[in-house]
Amino acid sequence: MTSAADNDGAGQIDLHTHSTASDGTSTPQALVRAAAETGLRVVAITDHDTTGGWADAARARPAGLTLIRGAEISCRWYGIEPSIPLHLLGYLFDPEDPPLVAELARVRAARVVRGERIVDLLRADGVDISWDEVLGYAAGGTVGRPHIAQALIRAGLVGSTTEAFAPHWLGERYRLPKDDIDVFTAVRLVRDAGGVPVFAHPRATRRGRTVPDSLIVELAAAGLAGLEADHPDHSPDERAHVRRLAAELDLLVTGSSDFHGTHKTVRLGAYTTGPQMYERIVDAAYGVPPL
């Protein structure tokens, strides 16, 4: 499935992937090699709240593959109670911009606190996993629930990451909120750092609550550049809804696999972005160039 946004067949462009710098299972080096082998022309590395995989991905980038450096930023909308978490894809921003660097560091630290608390809850219920084991799976990258899922798989309590995210495990019973960035602040920070902010999977109801269209209208006025429409967690109706809204607001539209390696079954390039939309992102950015 490709994005309906101006894809003229000029090449495959996947703008949402994860490496071992966060919760993917492929190293940044393996990620870019796999992207080239898959036939992608452009791939974005967008690990959660970190630019930690950028350098390795850049050094290993095969000839003929363009690398877009980015991050998937943990955000929250506080305009309703309880607040709603959401994700913002920031592309081509300056990784040394002090305000953005500080906020990403704060969110990563909050992920560590949340992860350790989740492990404590599991252990209190007799689950034989340890925090050191979870940190080992994270291997210095941004800690996330998939790393706890790996510990649950090792303990023989679940058979897959998907099963670990069921409601009676990490999906609900042992799910805790984390200290995210206010979404309006995140949009401003990405823009101020020369980047391009795109709302990730904005209508993915299978993930939980979604924000109203009225919030997206406000975010567009505040600097949001685009919406991710074609995504594994969007139904056909949800993809169509996102594209209609983007057209009304003159936002660009992306499509992406949200590849996580073996943590998920979706393959690289399963959903892609059209060349004209990709060029709009590149033209709007002034933080760092594509490689």
Q: pLDDT value at position 6?
A: 42
Q: pLDDT value at position 11?
A: 56
- The residue among 142, 129, 60, 49 whose CA lies nearest residue 95 is 49
Kindly report the average pLDDT of the chain as a whole number: 93
Determine how many CB atoms are found less than 10 A away from the CB of residue 29: 17
Q: Is the pLDDT of residue 1 over 50?
A: no
Structure tokens at 260: 């996580």
Structure tokens at 147: 């790393």
Angle at the Cα of 45 from the Cα atoms of 44 and 46, rounded to 5 degrees: 105
Q: DSSP 3-state assignment of 218?
A: helix
Compute the distance between CA of residue 269 and CA of residue 255 in angstroms, rounded to an integer.
Answer: 9
Report DSSP letters for 149-170, one per residue. Answer: HHHHHHTTS-SSHHHHTSTTTT
For residues 65 and 32, the answer to whether their CB atoms sit within 8 Å is yes
Q: DSSP 3-state assignment of 107?
A: helix
Report DSSP letters for 189-243, one per residue. Answer: HHHHTT-EEEESSTT-GGGS----HHHHHHHHHHT--EEEEE-TT--HHHHHHHH
For the entire predicted model, the pTM comes to 0.89
- pLDDT tens across 5-24, in order? 444 444 599 999 999 999 99
Q: Is 39 exposed, middle or buried (0-12, 13-18, 19+ CB in 10 A)?
A: exposed
Angle at the Cα of 187 from the Cα atoms of 107 and 53, rounded to 5 degrees: 50
Average pLDDT over residues 143-155: 91
Q: Is the pLDDT of residue 193 over 90?
A: yes
**Greater model confidence, 46 or 8:** 46
Average pLDDT over residues 211-226: 98
Q: pLDDT value at position 105?
A: 95
> Confidence band (pLDDT; 50, 70, 90) for 65?
very high
Q: Which of 151-165, 185-199, 271-285 has the lowest mean pLDDT?
A: 151-165
Q: Is the pLDDT of residue 153 over 60?
A: yes
Q: Which of 180-184, 219-223, 247-251, 258-262 has the lowest mean pLDDT?
A: 258-262
**Strands 40-48, 84-91: pairing kind:** unpaired
Domains and CATH numbers, the chain: 12-107+180-284 (3.20.20.140)
Measured in whole angstroms, the distance separating CA 267 from the mean position of its chain's CA atoms is 15
- pLDDT tens across 99-110, in order? 999 999 999 999
Q: Is the pLDDT of residue 2 over 90?
A: no
Compute the distance between CA of residue 210 and CA of residue 65 in angstroms, rounded to an integer.
Answer: 34
Q: pLDDT value at position 210?
A: 96
Q: Is the pLDDT of residue 160 over 50?
A: yes
- The percent of residues above 90 in pLDDT, for the chain, comes to 85
Separate counts of helices (H) and strands (E) for the chain: 10, 8
Q: Is 90 exposed, middle or buried (0-12, 13-18, 19+ CB in 10 A)?
A: buried
Compute the distance between CA of residue 49 and CA of residue 104 in angstroms, rounded to an integer.
Answer: 5
Radius of gyration of the chain (CA): 18
Average pLDDT over residues 173-196: 95
